[in-house]
């Protein structure tokens, strides 16, 4: 998508257009953005694309692009600072949540392995008890004086 206007508002419109693109179009857009001159507007567009849920996420790279925009004092970049700050904050939060989710997944996986190990140990104990029970010599049945079994 080639845009004439290079404003934060145009970047927001670009972000909306990403939702209407197919995965193939998103891939082509990424290739196009990688080859055009790297203006502030292009960097923000690439950061938006890298953070879009329907593409292979690269929030770290998107965040690096946004931080570059935020460090720039060029007038064109300064106009993008509020948008870049908001996106950077969003990307940092998403990265933090992804990290927490990964840690929780690892913890749950470890808990599952521990539970499976304990279950296997308990099953072995039950099987051992069942084997012991089968190998016991049967006791003779004692008949009580009143004729019933005990």
Q: How far is 75 from 37, CA to CA, in rounded Å?
A: 17
User: What is the reported pLDDT for 1?
Assistant: 47
Yes or no: say if 42 and 17 are a contact pair by the CB < 8 Å rule. no
Indicate the helix (H) or strand (E) that contains 29: helix 23-35
| pLDDT surpasses 70 at 2 | no
Q: Identify the bridge partners of residue 76 per DSSP, sorted by sequence position.
A: none
Task: Report the phi/psi class of residue 135: left, alpha or beta, with left for phi > 0 and alpha for psi in -120 to 50.
Answer: alpha
Question: pLDDT tens digits for 25-45?
Answer: 999 999 999 999 999 999 999
51-96: pLDDT as tens digits: 998 887 899 999 999 999 999 999 889 999 999 999 999 999 999 9
Structure confidence at residue 5 (pLDDT): 75
Q: Alpha-carbon distance 70 to 52, whole Å? A: 20
Which residues, 6+ apart, have CB-to-CB distance to 56 below 8 Å? none
Domain boundaries, given as residue ranges, for the chain: 8-93
- Three-class SS of residue 102? helix
Instruction: Let me know: does 106 contact 66? Beta carbons within 8 Å.
Output: no
How confident is the model over 89-147, as pLDDT tens digits?
999 999 999 999 999 999 999 999 999 999 999 999 999 998 988 888 777 777 777 76
Distance CA 98, CA 100 (A): 5
pLDDT at residue 3 greater than cutoff 60: no
Phi then psi for 149, rounded to 5 degrees?
Answer: -90, 150
Q: Which of 36, 43, 21 is nearest to 88 (CA)?
A: 43
pTM over 0.75: no
Check residues 5 and 75 and name the one with the higher pLDDT. 75
Q: Return the pLDDT at 149.
A: 57
- Residue at token pair 């909306």: 16
149 forms bridges with which residues in the sheet?
143
């Amino acid at each position: 998508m080639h845009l004439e206007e290079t404003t934060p508002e145009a970047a927001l419109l670009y972000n909306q257009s990403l939702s209407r693109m197919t995965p193939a179009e998103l891939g082509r857009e990424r290739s196009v953005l990688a080859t055009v001159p790297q203006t502030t507007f292009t960097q923000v567009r690439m950061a938006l694309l890298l953070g879009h849920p329907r593409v292979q996420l690269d929030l770290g790279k998107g965040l690096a692009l946004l931080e570059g925009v935020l460090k720039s004092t060029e007038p064109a970049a300064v106009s993008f600072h509020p948008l870049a700050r908001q996106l950077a904050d969003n990307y940092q939060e998403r990265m933090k949540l992804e990290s927490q989710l990964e840690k929780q997944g690892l913890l749950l996986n470890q808990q599952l392995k521990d539970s499976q190990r304990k279950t296997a140990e308990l099953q072995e104990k039950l099987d051992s008890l069942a084997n012991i029970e089968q190998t016991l010599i049967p006791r003779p049945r004692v008949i009580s004086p009143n004729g019933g079994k005990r």
